[in-house]
């Protein structure tokens, strides 16, 4: 069934939380036996993706190239495990494809390809997503489109100068059709973020953005922040999300923060059971 192209006046919070849990369950199945597959980041971003795809985003899997669709850009391409899970949940991908994630010859690699239906950009090289979002936003506005651009990027990407150049561009060109979803999970490739990027929200505000900071694993906070980002006032919008890698699976949350947390093959059944207990 096609998803509504306009958010309902009252979100179904129970349904959104169920979608987020389904995404986590799907990702755990996709990653099983593959070492890990960026599962910690995927679990952390699941609430955001559920709120976007099943409430806020104007889109229709029956018309993936609909010109006035809202665009969701995943700048952190290695979060592809979460992207594929939500695209399958939303009806863009066949769920039968998901077990091939990350395998040689698969159409679902560990960093996204834009050939995949529903994927708007290649986000494997970090720091490029927001620039592409601003370019799309300006182009769509010139075309008279009402589409909005939702761009997820990470706190690690705030160490890239190109991200800040794009942030200045968005405010300069009055891109109130851009919503940045900044995933602040505190980690980069080999451990904690090394550059002093804080205070993230204050800096984006100083760059001319309307900015809120929330718990990115709180569905109520996500829905409220997305509703607030609809305002048309010639200022781009930013939602700074503090997320917890491994959220929903306490054993993964408790492990050392790292870009690629290893999981032994014999641990997956226990971790899946832990996910189900947490949801209840």
Secondary-structure class of domain 14-279 per CATH: alpha beta
The CA distance from 64 to 117, in Å, is 7
In this prediction, residue 3 has a pLDDT band, given cuts at 50, 70 and 90, of very low
Kindly list the domain boundaries of the chain, sorted by start residue.
Answer: 14-279
Give residue 115's pLDDT.
Answer: 80
In this prediction, residue 259 has a pLDDT band, given cuts at 50, 70 and 90, of low
| Whether residue 150 has pLDDT greater than 70 | yes
Contacts 24+ apart (CB under 8 A), 109-114: 109/80, 110/37, 110/38, 110/78, 110/80, 110/81, 111/77, 111/78, 111/80, 112/74, 112/77, 112/80, 112/83
| Whether residue 280 has pLDDT greater than 90 | no
Q: How far is CA 27 from the centre of its chain?
A: 14
Sole residue written with tokens 């593959």: 34
Give residue 159's pLDDT.
Answer: 86
| Whether residue 257 has pLDDT greater than 70 | no
Report the predicted TM-score, pTM, of the whole model to 2 decimal places: 0.93
Dump pLDDT digits (tens) for 214-226: 999 999 999 999 9
Which tokens sit at 144?
Answer: 């008279």
In this prediction, residue 4 has a pLDDT band, given cuts at 50, 70 and 90, of very low
In this prediction, residue 2 has a pLDDT band, given cuts at 50, 70 and 90, of very low
8 A C-beta contact, residue 83 and residue 46: no
């Amino acid at each position: 069934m096609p998803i509504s192209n306009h958010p309902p006046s009252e979100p179904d919070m129970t349904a959104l939380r169920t979608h987020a849990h389904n995404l986590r369950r799907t990702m755990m199945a996709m990653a099983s036996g593959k070492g890990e597959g960026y599962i910690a980041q995927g679990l952390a971003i699941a609430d955001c993706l559920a709120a976007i795809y099943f409430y806020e985003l104007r889109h229709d899997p029956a018309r993936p190239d609909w010109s006035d669709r809202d665009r969701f850009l995943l700048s952190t391409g290695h979060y592809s495990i979460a992207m594929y899970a939500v695209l399958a949940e939303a009806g863009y991908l066949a769920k039968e494809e998901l077990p091939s994630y990350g395998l040689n010859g698969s159409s679902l690699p560990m960093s996204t390809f834009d050939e995949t239906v529903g994927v708007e950009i290649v986000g494997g090289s970090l720091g490029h997503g927001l620039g592409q979002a601003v370019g799309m936003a300006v182009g769509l506005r010139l075309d008279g489109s009402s589409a909005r651009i939702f761009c997820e990027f990470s706190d690690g990407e705030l160490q890239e100068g190109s991200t800040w150049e794009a942030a200045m561009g968005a405010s300069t060109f009055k891109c109130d059709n851009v919503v940045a979803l900044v995933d602040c999970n505190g980690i980069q490739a080999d451990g904690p973020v090394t550059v002093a990027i804080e205070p993230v929200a204050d800096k984006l505000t100083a760059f001319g953005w309307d900015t809120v900071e929330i718990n990115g694993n709180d569905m109520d906070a996500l829905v409220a922040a997305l509703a607030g980002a609809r305002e048309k006032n010639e200022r781009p919008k930013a939602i700074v999300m503090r997320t917890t890698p491994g959220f929903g699976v306490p054993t993964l949350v408790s492990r050392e923060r790292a870009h690629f947390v290893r999981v032994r093959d014999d641990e997956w059944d226990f971790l899946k059971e832990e996910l189900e207990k947490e949801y209840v």
